[in-house]
Amino acid sequence: MRPENYEARRQPPSYEYELNIGPNHPGIEGNYAVKLRLHGDTVIDSRADAGYLHRGFEKLMEGRLWIQNLAITPRICVPDPVPMEVSYCLAVEELCGLEVPERALYLRVIQLELSRLAAHLFTFGGHAATTGMYTPMFWGIADRDQILDLFEELSGGRVYHIYNIPGGVRRDHPEGWLQRVADTIDYIESRLPDYDNLLFHNQVFVQRARGIGAISQQDALDWAVTGPNLRACGLAFDVRRDDPYLVYDRLDFEIPTEEAGDAWARILVRRSELFESIRIIRQCLERLPSIPGPIRCPIPNPLAWNVPAGSVYTRVESSKGELAWYVVSDGSERPYRTHVRGPSQMHAVQVLEKLSTGARIEDVAQIMFSLDACPPEVDR
């Protein structure tokens, strides 16, 4: 033990320090961390740190039958699981040349829009909580539960539905379910003035969100931003309209946009999308009773299903942005390769890092929630 090793050493004065937000933090959606370097209260460097929720889904799917993978797909993004199911089914259907019955197509659209409503309500609450407003968070979770009740009645599962299968859906809707859907969306619509009064017209929230985490149109394109985050920059791109799937080309709806590209614009776009999702669901509810026929087309024995060799890329518009599956089949009963191109892979890594750098520390959690990233989707 040499005394000189314990002598105090003078360091040049510095106001820089490091801070980890996460992996367990109320401002982070799931097990995820952002490593910040700060000078005072200003972030001078930001590094996203995934890997806390790694489950290796893409590799797991290579060892399971095509039908078994349906139990994996919704777990990739818990707050918005239906697009994962539907996009995977679209990929298998394209490989096999399956024609999905019209009735099943409308049931899928209803699910997708209900899932979008539930996800946006969840995001409202989380975004509000990052600015110290907790009542909207309780409201959002409670109102979201109304939609989860519908999913439980339809599929048996509140969160992981596993209702969609290649060729259609597992079963038809229960008796009276369509009316309960109508009642629920009426209720959600009636609640929006309350959200306006407490959140969207609240100057505390407005001033905290306005001007925070702004993205220009060019940066949005360079950073591969999609979904509401892209439309908040004034770019009206939506896969449902620009590359339609299912029956979206037969439905009437608008693509809400804002111009500022900041956290305030992003939550305003999601608020407007609630009305459009309700509008889409009502059209489906009106048409579905008059559409007879089966809910799925015939498929081979799923336990011995050799899907034709080939590769496909299918995409849908999830609540968080453009979601796509790249699936490769070698003609066997298991996928040769699957890959998810999720919106959070861009939003929660490169976009979050760039927007956090230069921001104040109290705005980092708000920036992440305004991007509506899903950490489990980042590290698959």
Rg (CA), the chain: 22
Q: In whole angstroms, what is the distance from residue 6 CA to residue 173 CA?
A: 73
Other beta carbons within 10 Å of 251? 20
Domain-embedded: residue 16? no
Residues 56-76 pLDDT 10s: 899 999 999 999 999 999 999
Q: In whole angstroms, what is the distance from residue 296 CA to residue 309 CA?
A: 23
Residues 124-160 pLDDT 10s: 888 888 888 889 889 999 999 999 999 999 999 999 9
Q: HSE on the CB side for 176, CA within 13 Å?
A: 1
Which residues lie closer than 8 Å to 57 by C-beta, 6 or more apart? 72, 75, 76, 340, 380
Contact 226, 346 (CB under 8 A): yes
Give the H or E element holding residue 140. Answer: helix 135-155
Q: Where does 200-344 show beta strands of DSSP type E? A: 310-318, 321-329, 337-341
In the predicted structure, residue 378 carries a pLDDT above the cut 60: yes
Contact 83, 323 (CB under 8 A): yes
Which residue do the tokens 């040049």 mark?
A: 12
In the predicted structure, residue 234 carries a pLDDT above the cut 90: yes
41 vs 14, residue with greater confidence: 41
Domain-embedded: residue 33? no
pLDDT at 1: 46
Domain of 350?
55-378
Q: Report angle CA 111, 288, 190 to the nearest 5 degrees.
A: 60
Give the H or E element holding residue 164. Answer: strand 164-165
pTM of the entire predicted model: 0.92
Nearest CA to 299 out of 66, 139, 108 is that of 66
Domain-embedded: residue 156? yes
Cα distance between the two ends of the chain = 49
Domain-embedded: residue 22? no
- Distance set, CA 103 to CA 110, 125, 252, 294, 295 (Å): 11, 34, 18, 7, 6
In the predicted structure, residue 21 carries a pLDDT above the cut 90: no
Q: In whole angstroms, what is the distance from residue 235 CA to residue 259 CA?
A: 8
Q: In whole angstroms, what is the distance from residue 257 CA to residue 270 CA?
A: 9
In this prediction, residues 288-311 reach a mean pLDDT of: 93
Q: In whole angstroms, what is the distance from residue 97 CA to residue 309 CA?
A: 12
- Distance set, CA 197 to CA 135, 191, 192, 193, 201 (Å): 12, 10, 9, 6, 5
In the predicted structure, residue 359 carries a pLDDT above the cut 80: yes
In the predicted structure, residue 11 carries a pLDDT above the cut 70: no
Q: In whole angstroms, what is the distance from residue 137 CA to residue 157 CA?
A: 23
pLDDT at 290: 94
pLDDT band at 6 (very low <50, low <70, confident <90, very high): low
Nearest CA to 77 out of 300, 262, 325, 266 is that of 325
Q: In whole angstroms, what is the distance from residue 233 CA to residue 236 CA?
A: 9
In the predicted structure, residue 226 carries a pLDDT above the cut 90: yes
Q: In whole angstroms, what is the distance from residue 47 CA to residue 37 CA?
A: 9
> Token digits for 371?
């991007």
pLDDT band at 242 (very low <50, low <70, confident <90, very high): very high
Nearest CA to 199 out of 243, 157, 137 is that of 137
Provide the number of structural domains found in the chain: 1
Domain-embedded: residue 10? no
pLDDT at 3: 55
pLDDT band at 8 (very low <50, low <70, confident <90, very high): low
Contact 247, 214 (CB under 8 A): no
pLDDT at 210: 93
Tell me if the bond preceding 292 is cis, omega within 30° of 0.
no
Domain-embedded: residue 91? yes
Domain-embedded: residue 35? no
Q: Are strands 16-21 and 337-341 parallel, antiparallel or unpaired?
A: unpaired
In the predicted structure, residue 170 carries a pLDDT above the cut 80: yes
* CATH number of residue 141's parent domain: 1.10.645.10
Which residues lie closer than 8 Å to 44 by C-beta, 6 or more apart? 16, 37, 38, 357, 358
Domain-embedded: residue 92? yes
Eight-class DSSP state of 342: -
In the predicted structure, residue 85 carries a pLDDT above the cut 80: yes
